[in-house]
Chains A and B, each alone.
Chain A
Amino acid sequence: MALSKISVEKYDLIVLGGGPGGYVAAIRGAQLGMKVAVVERELLGGICLNWGCIPTKALLRSAEVFHNMKHAADYGLIAQRIDFDLDAVVKRSRGVAAQLNAGIIGLMKKNKIKVYMGEGRLLKKGLLTVEKDGSKIADLAADDIIIATGARARELPHLKADGKLIWTYRHALTPNVMPKKLLVIGSGAIGIEFASFFNELGSNVTVVEMMDRVTPVEDHDISAFALKSFKKQGMNIMLNSSVTKLQSKADSVICTVESKDGKLQNIEVDRVIVAIGIQANSENIGLEENNIKTDRGHVVTDEWGHTSMKGVHAIGDLTGAPWLAHKASHEGVIIAEKIARDKGNKAVIDLHPLNKGNIPGCTYCRPQIASVGMTERAAIEKGFKIKAGKFPFIANGKAIALGETEGMVKTVFCAKTGELLGAHMIGAEVTEMISTYALARTLETTEAELIHTVFAHPTLSETMHESVLDAFGKAIHI
């Protein structure tokens, strides 16, 4: 390698990883006048766009339309011989991802960002090498390097995916058969979305969750509501349980499930999806060699994305929770602007670190779940005296007209100051509605502004208003 004749190419900013954190940071950097390079080993747009957020939404949309077809009679419509073509469903999902991937390639060109397709590795401060299939294709130098290599599905030795019978989200996105019986390990966002999809299309789905409730990061009331709904849809939910062994047969897997009280149970299913969290992609990118500090695989940064090495920044999933694309993108913009400002760019003004308490989270199972801020229990544990309000979809006119009466909105306020500490929603389209509460938190509104806001009628959003009213004893429709 030392004899390589490749000359070093100079940039103002190098971004390692072209996912929603990296490509956004690159665009913002380029907009601020920097000469920017992006190094990506697989596909621009990263997991989010190619193997995560977006293609799963495409699959879930198919499931939703299918669900509505099955319930056509409820709306006075006639739909006969209702069926689906799995290959076509998957093909549509891949097409959506491909369309967006092409869009990112276009954005890179438009912003004159040079893209290196290969595996990047930090050699030393300011220097990065790019390899493709084991041979070097470029050496890149820049004063500032942003590492945004993201994360992948966490695996445990006894829960290893083989891609045939035992899947991670990646395999589950391109199923070649519809499993008659499916077992999903983990009821976080990824696990429960796939459980929803396959359940809707007719699989007999079992979800195994270690905690005492589904979607454990959400508010207890939301978890309880979701559990009831999933059971009604026919899912088999095993709480307080973990899968201790997976034994693959010819075309099935025998799963040993152990409950908290030590009871063992063998369940034979066609396919298994392992969704037990994620782990950072922090290996083989030169972190260890350069003594860049990590904590359980996640790169340690300050609020400006600085790592322990000057000139090396990190953003997104690589740096830890919450593992959300919109967090990575937001950090990408902030860090790119910080770098530009530190280089003397006067156009960057009013820069603030990201407030992680204001990042909404969305899960696209049926019914959808969305939340921002603290759960009721977290608020109480933090010492807040709270006022909480709830409002059910069944009391909302639009929800009844839509035939989407399953849902509720819960809001948690600080009793003393009226701060909206958290908002928790379950029901149709709540993922589209949560941003209103995120805005309320970012603007630091109190209950007064929310109460005085006119929510349009008839909308599902009126439930958000009523929930706030309920917290202060003023709800009208319950």
Chain B
Amino acid sequence: MAIEIRMPALSPTMEVGTLSKWLVKEGDSVESGTLLAEIETDKATMEHETIDDGIVGKLYVAEGTENVEVGDLIAVLFEEGEDASVLDTIAIGAVSASPVAVPAIETPKAAPALSIKRELPAVSPSSASSNKRVFSSPLARRIAEQNGYQIEDITGTGPYGRIIKRDVESFVPQISSVQSSFGADLSGDTAYVEEKLSGMRKTIARRLTQSKQEVPHFYLGVDIELDNLLQARKELNVMSDEYKISVNDFIIRAVGLALKKVPEANVQFGGDVVRKYSRADISVAVAIEGGLITPIVRGAEHKGLRAISEEVKELAKKARDGKLMPEEYQGGTFSVSNLGMMGIKSFQAVINAPQAAILAVGAGEKRAVIDKDGVVKAATVMSVNLACDHRAIDGAVGAEFLAAFKNFLEFPSTMLL
């Protein structure tokens, strides 16, 4: 199956970008990490690298093309044994500027985390013209009404798809597109539109405000060299088509193992007690429409990379489809938030109370580092920051955890011990 390269979202707000320069040409062979193109957003110009191996089969967008929508096909990589005949099976994407006729069959949007164009959930029309019977519980209907939701807009997960309380409580209404003509009227006060907060947004607002006000945060940062890990990842991924381990999967496993090694960091502050957990349940922040949610990889220290990879994929899919069960996102002993795929170099996260720590993971990027012999060399470096609740975790413990975590990632074979 040919690998589709689509316009990546290089920032959370990026919708279109300019493909300013191709760094490869058709026929070039590339491997994970090869720079493909320079892409310009309204904020910056960034290099976009491939996470797959292959041969550049076709470049679909000419250098200098502006307003390429995020998610549009920009190139195709051939895998071993493939040739131009596979191109017929590939859909170009939403914008069919290309003269090539778009095949009727829409292939699924490409999988790479870098270029997910989030599909909006299918929404049935909320107008009265829809005469389809909607199965819903009385309680679900009442809560929907109290929140101003249209019951038809909600996807049911109860018996035979009946809409139940849980579905309404986890429903995130789609914000109707703001119709203000931005910037057209320069006189008087700026017009604005008020959107009612969704249940999720209210929860985020309440819990994070409380955390930032009540929890004494402190932050520890460290840089981690990823070259050994990327090599190990490559070797693993070459071996089988049945799985594709991501850097994030390594991070989750390493967090689990580091918490096992430094259990003092796997704790929660509870007023006059500190809870020490005997298992590392890692909450993984996943961005979804209208907010974020933290599904949990339970017992990460006991799970292999493949198991973690599969679990995270399934949880993230459920999260985006709004199908997580409460037990899949409530609880957790430690959080990981990764904005690396959004091109963020480094950031500080707010603790997901009552947990006592959250690890904020930035992008892996080529940087100049000075090795122990004083020689400047190129290395792939990732910056992470740990936010700790000082009531439960002291600086030394946080540092010990980060050291263990860094060691696991820099020497990934130690994760086998």
Residues on A facing B (Cβ under 8 Å): 293, 302-303, 308, 350, 352-353, 416-419, 443-446, 448-449
Contacts and interface: CB of A to CB of B under 8 A. Distances in A.
Contact of A444 (B137, B160, B299, B327): B137
12 contacts: A302-B327, A303-B327, A352-B158, A353-B325, A416-B146, A417-B139, A417-B142, A417-B146, A444-B140, A444-B164, A446-B139, A446-B142
A350 B165 contact: no
Interface in B116-160: 137-140, 142-143, 146, 157-160
B137 A308 contact: no
B196 interface: no
A293 B140 CA distance: 37
Given A444-B140, A445-B139, A303 B325 contact: yes
Given A446-B142, A449-B138, A308 B327 contact: no
Contact of B302 (A302, A308, A419): A308
B139 A350 contact: no
A257 to B, nearest CB: 31
Contacts of B146: 416-417
A446 B140 CA distance: 9
A357 B139 CA distance: 16
A418 B146 CA distance: 11
Nearest to B165: A444
A352 B165 contact: no
Contacts of B140: 444
Interface string B321-339: 0000101000000000000
Nearest to A443: B137
Contacts of B157: 352
Nearest to A351: B159
Contacts of A353: 325
A444 B139 CA distance: 5
Nearest to A349: B160
A446 B141 CA distance: 10
Contacts of B158: 352
A170 B28 CA distance: 78
Given A416-B146, A444-B165, 7 more contacts: A350-B160, A352-B158, A417-B143, A418-B142, A444-B164, A446-B138, A449-B138
B137 A445 contact: yes
Q: Specify the main secondary structure of chain B where it touches its partner.
A: helix
Nearest to A420: B139
B159 A419 contact: no
Contacts of A293: 299
Interface size on B, as a range, is 10 to 19
B159 A350 contact: yes
Contact of B165 (A308, A416, A419): A419
Q: Specify the main secondary structure of chain A where it touches its partner.
A: loop
A444 B143 CA distance: 11
A463 B164 CA distance: 28
Nearest to B307: A310
Nearest to B143: A417
Contacts of B139: 417-419, 444-446
A445 B138 contact: yes
Contact of B159 (A352, A446, A449): A352
Residue from the set B138, B143, B327 with the largest chain A CB neighbour count within 10 Å: B138
A229 to B, nearest CB: 34
A446 B159 CA distance: 18
Contacts of B165: 419, 444
Interface in B303-320: none
A445 B327 CA distance: 23
A431 B137 CA distance: 26
Contacts of B299: 293, 308
Contacts of A448: 138
Contacts of A444: 137-140, 164-165
A54 B157 CA distance: 36
A360 to B, nearest CB: 18
A448 B142 CA distance: 10
Contacts of A352: 157-159
A304 B361 CA distance: 32
A418 B140 CA distance: 11
Residue from the set A350, A419, A443, A444 with the largest chain B CB neighbour count within 10 Å: A444
A204 to B, nearest CB: 44
A319 B160 CA distance: 28
Contacts of B138: 443-446, 448-449
B270 to A, nearest CB: 16
Contacts of B143: 417
Contacts of A449: 138
Return the 9 tightest CB-CB contacts between A and B, nearest first.
A444-B137, A444-B139, A446-B138, A419-B139, A445-B138, A350-B160, A446-B139, A417-B143, A449-B138
Nearest to A416: B146
Nearest to A310: B307
A247 B143 CA distance: 59
Nearest to B137: A444
Contacts of B325: 303, 353
